[in-house]
Structure 1
């Protein structure tokens, strides 16, 4: 007789378990022990319920530190990890887990829902079933997001809708597969594990200071020029245009150069969902010469995770570039 796979469930909060209150939807524990009961024939679930449960828009770096410590301790003793998380910052958490747990050879699947589990027509049952299918049958060996019958790699994923059940997408890397109760997995294309040693947990400093600035026509570049000289950040994500283009304004370029000259990291990513910051146009050359790092296909969620870890570990620009290459973003 085949023994059940043991799954560790980290319930952080989010819409999936919320209930209505006079102030609006709030985190609740009502789904604990019930939401996954339909899947108990093949899997055994051990729950860890965060106290307090949080709305994911309130996630902090300290939360990430705590969850990383917990998961690094649990992963060796379980066959997989299920993280129940609010959708607003799920892609950010998925990316921090993917980058901070190199060498993973077990599935870590995040899911949540657009509507509470017990609400009429909720997407939660399908999302949970998709996540469980990934844990039970897909031989997944990375961090992924299960949502609306689709499985996405963590790196490159974003929340793309607040209006429909198709809440997530991954413009560059697409889906790992699609699942339905009727047909099971379709088009499943899993990637080989990077595992070459025991699981390693990268350190995360809850005081790491990473900010994002999105360029827009007009006052945006001037504001950043002024702000970079006084900013307390350790690293800056610059969401520029197209292939990583930006104004060649002298004050703006000078401010960027001064920031990188003091050891600050500037990661240049495209604000286009399927964009790639690369040395394509001469317009972006001045910015590249000022010491910015081209983020290639990195989206905002991946960039935040990467720079947070880079600042925590004291990386230099070359180490960030090496990580971008390993993640196949450049």
Structure 2
């Protein structure tokens, strides 16, 4: 009989562990005791050590400093554990999953994020199901990447998004689909795990807590003059453009000039599609001048992935070629 795998569980906050206070729901520190009966179901497979983030936070309050702290925690535990489980609020779970997957791409252990739409103690909570899905994933043969476990699905971190605030089926990965599905009766099925390749197991990337990434979403009638002024007079460290369709924008002279000028200053501009299953690519002539201005086509990047990529690019002084190489590596372009 195989010995149980040793897991580190990191509770960061979020709805899953919240309890009612006079001011409303707030993260509580006793989640480990509340969740103990569920974890006990897997005690023959898993031995779990709990770690509590201080302070516990609502995930809508996450900062780059939190990400830096969590990556340091991952670094401190990865060599001594067979897997890491991160309990996280749902609002920014996909952002955190993307940054962890891209900043620590080669740890060669499963890192799973999960949470819940309702507190564990609430009636009809989805928390027990999500915890069981996450815990079961650590026994999935060949699984050694960062993923989100939610509503009986295992989603690859890169490309993942929160798609609902109303349903238990709150996450998806429109570009890459799920890695596997799970049920208590059947276990794992419809598995689609990537084949591990040869790579540098020492690869890891830091986060600068001062990195400034600005995102501009284009809409009909959007004030391009305001966007242009922001880029010209208060340039950030990196820019995400959420453009139309296959990466198209208006051919406004001043706007394109501003894009060209910040690109010439080695400020990366990543162009992504607003479409849920979109791809920014060189398809239409309408986007030609934008590409000529120096933007990077984000391909299949969603917003969460784009934020992670540019945060790492700025933090590690990547040039355009290095960003494009990462996009290729992640099969985004």
Aligned position for 2:238: 235
How far the C-alpha of 1:232 sits from its partner, in A, is 4.0
Moved more, 82-91 or 35-44: 35-44
Whole-Å Cα distance in 1 between the matches of residues 293 and 168 of structure 2? 42
Aligned to 2:51: 48
Q: Structure 2 stretches of 5 or more lacking a match?
A: none
The alpha carbon displacement at 1:194 in A equals 4.2
| Aligned with residue 57 of structure 1, among 47, 60, 70 | 60
Partner of 2:3: 3
Answer yes or no: is the 8 Å Cα contact 1:102–1:195 preserved in 2: no
Alpha-carbon shift at residue 211 of structure 1 (Å):
1.1
Residue deviations 1:43-88 (CA, integer Å, cap 9, x gap): 1101110011000001110111111111012111111110000000
2:28 aligns to what?
28
- 1:67 aligned counterpart, secondary structure: helix
Question: Partners of 2:68 and 2:266 in 1: how far apart?
Answer: 24
Pair 1:138–1:55, CA change in 2 (3 A): farther
The two structures have a TM-score, normalised by structure 1, of 0.97
1:259–1:205 distance in 2 versus 1, CA, 3 Å: same
Is 1:325 aligned to 2:315, yes or no? no
| Stretches of structure 1 lacking an aligned partner (at least 5 in a row) | none
Structure 1 residues 16 and 138: alpha-carbon distance in aligned structure 2, compared to 1, 3 A threshold: farther
In 2, Cα distance between equivalents of 1:201 and 1:265: 20
Partner of 2:283: 280
2:162 aligned to which of 159, 163, 182: 159
Aligned length: 330
TM norm structure 2: 0.97
State the Cα deviation string for residues 238-293 of structure 1 (Å, max 9, x = none): 00000000000111111111111111110000000100000000000010000000
Deviation at 1:226, TM superposition (A): 1.4
* Counterpart residue number, 2:111: 108
- Matching residue of 2:80: 77
Q: For residues 45 and 34 of structure 1, do their structure 2 counterparts lie closer, same or farther at Cα, with a shift above 3 Å needed?
A: farther
What is the DSSP-based 3-state SS (H/G/I as helix, E as strand, rest coil) of the residue aligned with 2:236?
A: coil
> 1: distance between equivalents of 2:43 and 2:202?
28
- Gap change, CA 1:128 and 1:64, over 3 Å in 2: same
Displacement of 1:26 after TM fit? 0.1
275-284 vs 316-325, greater mean Cα deviation: 316-325
- Quick check: 1:105–1:194 contact (8 Å CA) kept in 2? no
Q: What's 1:142 paired with?
A: 145
Identify the range of structure 1 (136-145 vs 210-219) with the bigger mean alpha-carbon deviation.
136-145
* Cα 1:28/1:236, change in 2 over 3 Å: same
123, 126, 144: which one pairs with 1:123?
126
Give the C-alpha shift of residue 2 in structure 1. 2.1
2:100 equivalent among 97, 102, 108: 97
Indicate the SS of the match to 1:96: helix
Partner of residue 17, structure 2: 17
* In structure 2, C-alpha distance between the alignment counterparts of 1:157 and 1:246, rounded to whole Å: 25
The range that moved more, 201-210 or 272-281, is 201-210
Q: Distance in 1 between matches of 2:328 and 2:201?
A: 22
